[in-house]
Chains A and B, each alone.
Chain A
Amino acid sequence: MANTPDYNYPPMDKRKIIGQRYKRLDGPAKSSGRAKYSSDLKPPDMLFGAYLHSPHAHAKVTSIDTSEVEKMPGVKAVYVAAPAGTEINWQGYEVAAVAATTEEIAREAALKIKVDYEVLPHLVKDDDLALAGARAKQGGERVVGDPDKAFQDAEAVSEGHYGIPVVYHCCLEPHGQVIQWKPGADADGKSDEIHAWPSTQNVPDYATSLSQNLKVPATNIKVRMDYIGGGFGSKFTPDAWAIVGANLSKKAGGRPVKLYLDRAPELMIAGNRPSAYAKIKLGGKKDGTITAWQTESWGSGGFQPVNPPAQPYTYANVPNIREVRTTVSLNGGSQRAWRAPGNQQASYLTCCAIEDFAAKIGMDPIEVFKANAQYAARSGAADTYRYQLDKAAELAEWKKLWHPRGQSGSGTIKRGMGVAIGSWNGNGHRSQCRTVINPDGSVSVEIGSQDLGTGTRTIITQVAAESLGLQMGQVKLVIGNNDLPPDGGSGGSTTVGGVSTSTRKAAINALMKLYEACAPALGAQPEDLEAVDGHIRVKGSPNKSLTWQAACRKLGTTSISEMGAHNGQAIPGLVTGGAAGVQIADVSVDTETGMVRINRYVAVHDCGMVINPRLAESQVYGAVIMGISTALYEERIMDRETGKTLNPDMEFYKLAGIGDIGNIIVHMDIREENDKRGVIGLGEPPAVPICAAVGNAVANAIGVRVPRIPMTPAHVLDTLEGRNA
């Protein structure tokens, strides 16, 4: 066809499948226990792997002796990851690993490996910058406008200090994989072959990364994953455990090896969210307009330096800014992307400082956030924020329930309200999809993506079915292996925009071929045809039609196989970036025990065109619940003296339970003006504002700022007793 096909979606009111609340397609497999995660697999002859980890935060390996373990019955391979001379910079570092016929033997053997360490000095805490010494590195000063003059001219100035700690991803399925390295296994008997069943957010790029490390051609590396038990940004690369697992397999003569982290190392070494601490000063007018912003911030992402995020967040166009950021290198596990990396910290620091400014000038913070929406960095976002602030306030009964800071009555239980904002890009990543239409009418959609539990399977199928005029059950979807057309890793809320666009294009391209095949029978030109309700018909003459089956029979014996590609650039109407959200926490604080309870939590979010509102709402519920958990309970606790991690478990590293989250109200901002922007990702944006909203609500309730998240009884009571530093 000479003309470029029209890939635009039908208008909102004409869509039949997109926009509907379909239940997730993999729901029955998951809720019946039939879904096989990679950590559930047991291919024939599989060996069980186990690690020995460093007990020290900073040490040098002086000797390592595996001889006794090599002789243990059942042990098939031993691999030393940290030979003598290796400097270890965090507790939990992988020292050696064993593969054995049972998991019990593997674990016992790993603990019997003899290692001597020279223990070295450590630094494991960054809450007090004065103690960081040479481990702190200043990142330089950033100045916008004339902050000195702006502070002089300000009608009001507020100051505060704030802190948000390191938290873990705590994926329920730990990091790891089943992996098999078969020497000389390919057809010519010369090249090696690797089969990997990982728990990864990035099936399509896994083989490339692994091939660079193992020197086996990527074409000989087969990757498959059907289900993943959580990633949240921490599972993008094959990691050391894939390389160690593969080497154990090779040493064991090519038997598959299962090597997953136990819970303690999972928390200590498989990624975390960096900390951020700041002293912030704001100047502005008594009408709520902010005119000057000053931040001194620091934080740590582990041993490698990571600067805390820039301030102010989202309202980045404040005219006068001074900012100094400092990074602290700690002897702790390295940071990884954590659902909206940098944004929770940034939102916490910025939105708490704005709330403190509102309290200082005696204004309703909703009005202060609206008064400064003009500073939103993304063009056009100011109106969205004003709309969403009003909408969230309405749903939270803000006008009825909010009171000026601290005016919460004389009882010991104080109720308070807090608001915060968030933003995210969420533009779709590069993606390729193949749509096959067979002469028997069957349809397959093939795409090298993965479903993290976000509903990717379901939304791809919805886009394909809508595009082909079919029902959901008529489309067979294949994802989750690296033989398929490559999609991208699922991170940064980029998946939905990528897969929907490539799927839409592949489906329309395939449909064009089908139109060509059946146009003669309908006495029409291909461009005059449309696919509606399981029929191919002539536009404007619905009685001139073929059923889908009859149309496909016109293909003779040759199937249609068409690709659709998305290059990652925004396409108006199809896919774009730039999402906003406003959230409000309604909390009660027991001033005698320091306990904070969530009464109600409101989240208002836009994400462009919503393919499945049920699944979109689930994303928001999930992000808010994860956020409430971090706002109330979660914190990596390190011991300054011994360098040990004190809570690498799920007993003392607390996650919120079903009774801890209050009542959550989600409002998806589905309006035509948002819809026509195209698809935008939603995984991260709702995970951003929670710590700030809860922190602000606590300050509103008890009349003083509790500087440090999480809002534990200890932190709340310290503040009430005036024990903050």
Chain B
Amino acid sequence: MSSRKDPEVPARPNSGFSRRGFIQRVGIGGGALGTGPLEKEAAAAPANVAGPGPVPITLNLNGKPVKLTVEPRVTLVDALRNYLDLTGAKRVCDRGTCGACTVIMGGKTVYACTVLAIDAQGKNIETIEGLATGNTLHPVSQAFWDNDAQQCGYCTPGFVMACKGFLDEHPNCTEEDVKHGLGGNLCRCGTYMGVRKAALQAAKAMKGATKNG
């Protein structure tokens, strides 16, 4: 993994709008919000301001530190896809609804379109590229294949990551649990029947792997 193929990022001393800027302004101006975390973040910002031009950051991706340079407004999914060529996570709704960009960050499944790359620093980030061991599929990926839980496959990496995150927390899940636990991922081809079976097969396989290993 390297940042060799980064897009050219020209210096932008007078940048306009950024997501982070938006969050800060909401935090300062939104009196009704009270003394929430946004306001604390905004108050702390002047001492540690990043951007609006590109800034060097380090992401801990699949156990390895990776350096890249991005504007503070770049989301984690865009950082992975546009700057690091880690394209398993897909950008579909770009608004935290569909789950196609799901990764596991600090042990929690997150929509990578709703996390800024600069805010993802210092946390372990697992992407689908880190799941397989050589040519051996991770048990969740294997189960998706075995149960034909994929058609076009565009939602599949996000679904696999959501499933892995869910099973890490709910190793003894039932089919009813799966219907709730994987409700944050959408598929357009209609692979849900296969996904239900895949999740249960993977739960069994992952438990077996734990016992044996």
Contacts and interface: CB of A to CB of B under 8 A. Distances in A.
B69 to A, nearest CB: 10
Interface string A607-644: 00000001100100111111001000000000000000
B183 A657 contact: yes
A330 B133 CA distance: 54
Interface string B29-40: 000000000000
A102 B141 CA distance: 32
Contact of B150 (A30, A46, A232): A30
B190 A621 contact: yes
Given A28-B137, A658-B185, A622 B7 contact: no
Contacts of A28: 137, 141, 145
Interface in B51-98: 71, 73-74, 78, 81-82, 85, 87-90, 92-95, 97-98
Nearest to B155: A172
A73 B54 CA distance: 13
Contact of A24 (B9, B148, B184, B185): B148
Contact of A453 (B7, B88, B92, B150): B150
Contact of A229 (B97, B141, B152, B191): B152
Interface stretch (A34-42, A155-163, A274-282, A396-404): A34-42
A42 B192 contact: no
Interface stretch (B20-28, B174-182, B203-211): B174-182
A615 B149 CA distance: 11
A31 B95 contact: no
Interface in B1-28: 5, 7-12, 16-17
Contacts of A173: 90, 92, 152, 154
Interface in A33-53: 33-37, 39-40, 42, 44, 46, 48
A323 interface: no
Interface stretch (A384-392, A511-519, A648-656): A648-656
A229 B160 contact: no
Given A453-B153, A658-B179, A658-B185, A32 B132 contact: yes
B195 interface: yes
B113 to A, nearest CB: 10
Contacts of A170: 188
A526 to B, nearest CB: 40
A23 B154 CA distance: 18
Nearest to B73: A104
A218 B110 CA distance: 45
Contact of A624 (B180, B185, B190): B190
Q: Which of B146, B186, B194 has the most CB of A within 10 A?
A: B186
A171 interface: yes
Given A23-B146, A101-B9, A659-B180, A32 B137 contact: yes
A26 B151 contact: no
Contacts of B145: 23-24, 27-28, 30-31
B190 A172 contact: no
A26 B153 contact: yes
B51 to A, nearest CB: 11
Contacts of A527: none
Contacts of B137: 28, 31-32
Interface residues of A, number: 63
Contacts of A452: 151-152
Contacts of B127: 33
Contact of A73 (B11, B89, B90, B157): B11
Given A263-B92, A618-B194, A104 B71 contact: yes
Contacts of A614: 148
Contact of A227 (B10, B152, B195): B152
Given A32-B137, A263-B94, A651-B95, A27 B150 contact: yes
Contact of A31 (B9, B144, B184, B189): B144
A32 B130 CA distance: 9
Contacts of B85: 42
B6 to A, nearest CB: 9
Contact of B154 (A172, A629, A651, A655): A172
A622 B127 CA distance: 27
A650 B132 contact: no
A338 to B, nearest CB: 12
Contacts of B179: 658-659
B60 to A, nearest CB: 18
Nearest to B189: A622
B131 interface: yes
A624 B187 CA distance: 13
A622 B95 contact: no
A664 interface: yes
A170 B190 CA distance: 12
Interface in A78-137: 101-105, 108
B183 A32 contact: no
A622 B148 CA distance: 11
Contact of B183 (A30, A74, A659): A659
A269 interface: no
A333 to B, nearest CB: 18
B148 A658 contact: no
Nearest to A231: B152
Given A26-B153, A73-B10, A664-B193, A172 B73 contact: no
A269 B131 CA distance: 37
Nearest to A622: B190
A32 B182 CA distance: 18
Contacts of A44: 5
Interface of A: 23-24, 26-37, 39-40, 42, 44, 46, 48, 73-74, 101-105, 108, 170-174, 227-230, 232, 262-263, 452-454, 614-615, 618, 621-626, 629, 649-651, 655-659, 661, 664
17 contacts: A27-B150, A31-B156, A33-B87, A33-B129, A35-B153, A36-B87, A40-B81, A170-B188, A172-B100, A262-B94, A263-B95, A614-B148, A650-B186, A657-B184, A658-B192, A659-B180, A664-B193
Interface of B: 5, 7-12, 16-17, 71, 73-74, 78, 81-82, 85, 87-90, 92-95, 97-98, 100, 127-129, 131-132, 137-138, 140-142, 144-146, 148-157, 160, 178-180, 182-196
Given A625-B191, A625-B193, 15 more contacts: A23-B146, A30-B145, A31-B157, A33-B131, A37-B90, A74-B9, A173-B152, A263-B92, A650-B93, A650-B95, A657-B183, A657-B186, A658-B183, A659-B179, A661-B192
